[in-house]
Structure 1
Amino acid sequence: MQEVNSVELKMFYRTQRDLAVDLNKLVDSYWQEEIKENELIDGIKNLYEHNQEKLIKENEFTKVVQQQCGKRRLAVVGKILKIK
Structure 2
Amino acid sequence: MKLKMFYRTQRDLASDLNMLVDTYWQGGIEENLLVDEIKSLYENNEEKILKDSQFTKVVQQQCGKRRLAVVEKILEI
Give the TM interval when normalised to the shorter protein: over 0.9
SS at match of 1:72: helix
- 1:58-79: per-residue Cα shift (whole Å, max 9, x none)? 0000000000000000000000
Q: Which has the larger helix fraction? A: 2
Matches within 5 A, 1:39-54: 39-54=33-48
Alignment of 1:44-83 (within 5 A): 44-82=38-76
Question: CA deviation digits over 1:28-65, x for unaligned, max 9?
Answer: 00000000000000010000000000000000000000
- Larger RCO: Structure 1 or Structure 2 (Cα < 8 Å, ≥ 6 residues apart)? 2
> Which sections of structure 1, spanning at least 5 residues, go unmatched?
1-6
After TM superposition, which residue ranges in structure 1, 4 or more long, deviate above 4 angstroms? none
Partner of residue 3 from structure 2, selected from 9, 13, 18: 9
TM-score, length of structure 2 as denominator length? 0.97
TM-score normalised by the chain length of structure 1 = 0.89
Query: How many residues are treated as equivalent by the alignment?
Result: 77
Structure number having the greater strand percentage:
1
Unaligned regions of 5+ residues in structure 2, if any? Answer: none
Task: Indicate the RMSD between aligned Cα atoms, in angstroms.
Answer: 1.1
Percent of pairs with identical residues: 73
